[in-house]
Amino acid sequence: MTAGEPEKAITPAVDPRWEWRAWGGLDNTGDTLAPLRAGEVHTSDETYVLSLHGDASVKVRDGLLDVKTLQHVDGTGLQQWVPVLKAAFPVDADVLTTMFTALGAPHSEPTRARYTREQLEREIIVPRDDLLLVAVHKVRRRSTLGGCMVEITDLTVDGTTTTSVAAESTDPRLVRETVGRLGLADRRNTSVPRGLKSVLRWGPARAAVIDVGTNSVKLHPAEARGGVLHALGDRVVVTRLGEGMTETGELSPSAMSRTADVVAEMVDEAREAGPADIVCVGTAALRQAPNRDAFVDDVFARTGVTVEVISGREEARLAYLAAVSALPPTDQRLLVFDSGGGSSQFTFGTRSRPEEQFSLDVGAVRVTERYGLAGVVSRATVDEALAGIADDLAPLGDHQQPDAVVAIGGTSTNLAAVRHGLADYDPEVVQGTVLDLAEVDRQIERYRQLDAEGRRGIDGLQPARAEVILGGACIVRTILTLTGQRAATVSDRGLRHGVLAERFGPQEASSIDAK
């Protein structure tokens, strides 16, 4: 190698490692983490390149350009990161291509054969609005817990110091066990690039939430203007991800394929106008299916978006916050329920504070398959279903009777739309609709006498819900009975609205167009 010639970029010979990292809010883990803080201290000054297009780890440390990419994500949120290259400066065009590809950022032909670090930063990165250079000072303490590497890192960025805790191993089972021992199992897994964006409040102006449910997939995009999120509408596609799970206990290949296709379409739609920060959450079917990893990994491979499988408790909390935000002020004790395709979420509380949340595996798809409610059925079959649902929802009877019930989710909004005979869905009409027992009973009787094709002709009923609407209506009816209520107020705000508000900030209520 002649003088001045760059060292050849290399792909580090390191086994891919599975990682879980939590940021901030670690005060309640003091007893667990205290012994780990005694590990050997390592300090470093690093410069990260953040991108609006993705979350690859691109940084300069010890004079080397270091690139790692996320290769796999499993159903628990565990991430497998793979080293792509380490290159000394000056770097050539091939290295730049690798870096930009990892960042997901477009790039033009370089004007130099090789770039020093200063030239790369000054001429290529700094002039761009979609990339950001971030200087990070790290103080790391590494130790081992049960054979798993644990790293506690204090990161100082732009004058702000925050702490992250990471567990890493080539064995994903060991990482999951260690995360549990650290008391971090209920925390989101957040990579360093994603965490730095959060600390700096830097990201795209557009955001979107994709809610992957047992029966349908929902897209809720928004755009930040003046510090407030303005929703850009909703799209709902029924994919029946949980179809057949009652019999097999697993997600079928066909259900996973068609649902992944829709998620990929929605990701493309969210990104159509430019970079977008996309959060994708999965609920009951993905919580319950032992083969969910295949679906999560497929979606990630096709879109670069991670499906976060959230707990029933978290689902209930977020849906509750979204639902009560649209209610008028009240001191009443409330029950908010969301009856989905594979489960139902329940939250008791007041408008200002949720008090108790839980989830039961009772959903419209499961009930439909168990009792054969997709077509014409006898009154006796409906009564059998109602009795079975009452048994499954028995824990509701152990709670203090609420003053009022708020119903959210596709079943309830469809019942409201049918009540109004809406040929075209109107969220302003659905919002606040009161469904009393007489109306629910009227619709149950109507649905049981029609096959799926006949139900599709009903104004207000989303055609793709024709098979499962009777099962869903029976669940709503049973919830009202068990809670001693004669009616429920429908809210068309749901999980996706709660996720959007919590992750990206407040929404302008009048701009929300949801269904």
Residue-range domains of the chain with CATH? 17-200 (2.40.320), 206-310 (3.30.420.40), 327-492 (3.30.420.150)
Q: Compute CA distances 195 → 142, 162, 192, 316, whole Å.
A: 19, 10, 5, 25
Strands 404-408 and 334-339: parallel
* Res 229: pLDDT: 78
* Res 227: pLDDT: 73
Query: Which of these, 170, 174, 166, lies nearest to 190 by C-alpha position?
Result: 166
Task: Give the 3-state DSSP-derived string for 352-394, with helices as H, strands as E and coil as C.
Answer: CCEEEEEEECCCHHHHHHHHCCCCCCCHHHHHHHHHHHHHHCH
Go through 71-100 and write b for each residue having 16 or more CB atoms within 10 A of its CB, e for each that does not.
ebbbbbbbbbbbbbbbbbbbbbeebbebbb
* Res 407: pLDDT: 95
Amino acid at residue number 271: R
Give the integer Cα–Cα distance in Å for 85 and 98.
8
Per-residue tens of pLDDT for the chain, all 515 residues: 344 454 556 665 567 899 999 998 766 555 677 777 777 899 999 999 999 999 999 999 999 999 999 999 999 999 999 999 999 999 999 999 999 999 999 998 899 999 999 999 999 999 999 999 999 999 999 999 999 999 999 999 999 999 999 999 999 999 999 999 998 888 899 999 999 999 999 999 999 999 999 999 999 999 988 777 788 888 989 999 999 998 899 999 999 999 999 999 999 999 998 999 999 999 999 999 999 999 999 999 999 999 999 998 888 888 888 888 777 767 789 999 988 888 998 999 987 788 888 889 999 999 999 999 999 999 999 999 999 999 999 999 888 899 999 999 899 999 999 999 999 999 889 999 999 999 999 999 999 999 999 999 999 999 989 999 999 999 999 999 999 999 999 998 889 988 998 888 755 543 333 33
* Res 506: pLDDT: 58
* Res 169: pLDDT: 96
Say how many C-beta atoms besides its own lie within 10 A of residue 485's C-beta. Answer: 17
Quick check: 64 and 214 in contact, CB under 8 A? no
- Bridge partners (DSSP) of residue 217 are 212, 237
* Res 10: pLDDT: 62
* Res 234: pLDDT: 87
Residue 329 dihedral angles phi and psi, to the nearest 5°:
-55, 135
The set of residues, in sequence order, having a beta carbon less than 8 Å from that of 50 and lying 6+ positions away, is 131, 132, 133, 134, 193, 196, 197, 200, 202
Give the integer Cα–Cα distance in Å for 409 and 390.
20
